[in-house]
A and B are shown apart, each in its own frame.
Chain A
Amino acid sequence: GQQVMQIPQYQHVQEGEDFTTYCNSSTTLSNIQWYKQRPGGHPVFLIQLVKSGEVKKQKRLTFQFGEAKKNSSLHITATQTTDVGTYFCAGPNTGNQFYFGTGTSLTVIP
């Protein structure tokens, strides 16, 4: 069945270090969305990428959608304590079934 895996599952970084989470789908996705869930909170939409190879930036965050539209990455430069949370990728496959990734939990050590 459809799977959307993210690695790593957990990541601890010192404040100021960079962080990357990778998202891999077993099938092609129509688009990729990224969400952030703070501890005790709910997922909050960050961004959506639609085109193959697309790259978007939001301040210290860089999002990339793979050429085959089966993988994506989120890179955070110079992490801050406010970046703490779980980052999820998500998207619909070509059959219009929507899946969330397994998530990467980020801890930032001050």
Chain B
Amino acid sequence: ETGVTQTPRHLVMGMTNKKSLKCEQHLGHNAMYWYKQSAKKPLELMFVYSLEERVENNSVPSRFSPECPNSSHLFLHLHTLQPEDSALYLCASSLQVRNQPQHFGDGTRLSIL
């Protein structure tokens, strides 16, 4: 139990589908992150939220749309994805943004058909 819960654990979707990934943290942290982890690539930071405000967007395609309704919840809305988007999507949280240790969820394994 990491204190960061991601759902679903696995997701298979077609390129025309719309789905959402959910992340919830029970640690009282103020910062939340989305990462993409592909095989043979380093962890790629996608989005950073601090107190529900997006503070970093690392040139992520618009087919990925984050939402942070409060400091405990983070969503990643997906639409019109491409096969190369198949990866493990990890959510993390930290007490403050960037300089604090990050606690990761178990991730959502996403497969695009």
Interface residue ranges, A against B (CB under 8 Å): 4, 30-31, 33, 35, 41-45, 48, 88, 90, 92, 96-103
Looking at the assembled complex, report how far the CB atom of A86 sits from the nearest CB atom of chain B, in whole angstroms.
Answer: 10
Interface residue ranges, B against A (CB under 8 Å): 2, 35, 42-43, 45, 48, 56, 90, 92, 98-99, 101-107
* 3 tightest Cβ-Cβ pairs between the two chains A and B: A100-B43, A45-B101, A42-B104
Pairwise interchain contact B90-A99, C-beta atoms closer than 8 A:
no
Which of the residues A42, A98, A102 comes within 8 Å of B106, measured between beta carbons? A42
Q: Measured between alpha carbons, how far is A99 from B58 in the docked complex, in Å?
A: 11
Pairwise interchain contact B42-A42, C-beta atoms closer than 8 A:
no
Instruction: Tell me what chain B mostly uses at the interface: helix, strand, loop, or mixed.
Output: loop
Pairwise interchain contact B99-A30, C-beta atoms closer than 8 A:
yes
Closest to A3 in B: B42
Looking at the assembled complex, report how far the CB atom of B50 sits from the nearest CB atom of chain A, in whole angstroms.
Answer: 11
Q: Measured between alpha carbons, how far is A41 from B2 in the docked complex, in Å?
A: 11
Instruction: Tell me what chain A mostly uses at the interface: helix, strand, loop, or mixed.
Output: strand
Which of the residues A41, A43, A44, A98 comes within 8 Å of B48, measured between beta carbons? A98
Pairwise interchain contact A96-B45, C-beta atoms closer than 8 A:
no
Which of the residues B43, B48, B99, B103 comes within 8 Å of A45, measured between beta carbons? B103
Q: With a CB–CB cut-off of 8 A, which chain A residues contact B43?
A: 43, 88, 90, 100
Q: Measured between alpha carbons, how far is A3 from B100 in the docked complex, in Å?
A: 20
Given contacts A42-B106, A43-B90, contact A103 B98 (CB under 8 A): no
Which of the residues A44, A48, A101 comes within 8 Å of B42, measured between beta carbons? A101
Q: Measured between alpha carbons, how far is A99 from B104 in the docked complex, in Å?
A: 15
Closest to B109 in A: A40
Closest to B4 in A: A42
